[in-house]
Amino acid sequence: MDLGLAGKRGLVTGSSSGIGAGIARLLAAEGCAVVVHGRDADKTRAVAASIGGGASVAIGDLSTNAGADAVAAAAGDVDILVNNAGGAVGTSAMHWTEVDEAGWEGTYQLNAIAAARMIRRLLPAMQAKGWGRVINVASAAATQPIAFGPDYGAAKAAMLNMTVSLAKALGPCGVTANSVSPGMILTPAVEAWLGNLKRNMGWGDISLEEAETRAARELTPIPVGRIGRVEEIAHAVCMIASPHAGYMTGANIRVDGGQVQGVN
């Protein structure tokens, strides 16, 4: 199926590695002119170079207004904004009592406010054209909170709320707003976690694939029995970005192997 993305221009924030890089690559493969964003110039340029001649770069820290201004200026008018940049000031394993006020504020800046900054800067041009896609990348933790990393889960939950509010505010202007909520995805960080997990759980000298299966069965659990792949998130984003998805707005698409135990 032709997704109809050829000739569109898209900015993927936080795309110098991991899920964001995968989204940028697949959008480019569908014919988009992709803007790769990151804070590390070398890493960001390396991803853009691996994508090819149609990719450009935007460097800036989206937790600041100045950084957002620089990224918006480099990106120019875009048809698709994927707010993927995020993370936590501390670690995802931090307990409630370990996350101080600065951590809460910083994590909110990295996720919800960073997304709001880019929406404010890039949405008017989409509205003027009468077509656009805003896609916020949240997390399974937004709808199924866990005991650790409360600042991260709360910030991602805010992004879901923002998405629905934006969809209602946009109305029939031709711009849609949706979110994608990944579950556990096999990024380099998760591969490193699996390596540590094998040692900490006393699983012995098993392969990465065996550790993945055991983690998906015994720890999370994930009904499909494995951890997701970056490409699976990218495919969901490209589908939502497509002109064929014009009647989809305000939706949260879970790509989590059934990990979240809820209706949505």
Q: Which residues are catalytic?
A: 152
Please give the full DSSP string across the chain, using - where no structure is assigned.
---S-TT-EEEETT-SSHHHHHHHHHHHHTT-EEEEEESSHHHHHHHHHHH-TT-EEEE--TTSHHHHHHHHHHH-S-SEEEE-----SS-TT--GGG--HHHHHHHHIIIIIHHHHHHHHHHHHHHHHT-EEEEEE--GGGTS--SS-HHHHHHHHHHHHHHHHHHHHHTTSSEEEEEEEE-SB--HHHHHHHHHHHHHTT--S--HHHHHHHHHHHTS--TTSS-B-HHHHHHHHHHHHSGGGTT--S-EEEESTT-S-S--
CA 206 – CA 213 distance, rounded (Å): 11
Instruction: Pick left, alpha or beta for residue 133 (phi over 0 → left; psi -120 to 50 → alpha; otherwise beta).
Output: beta
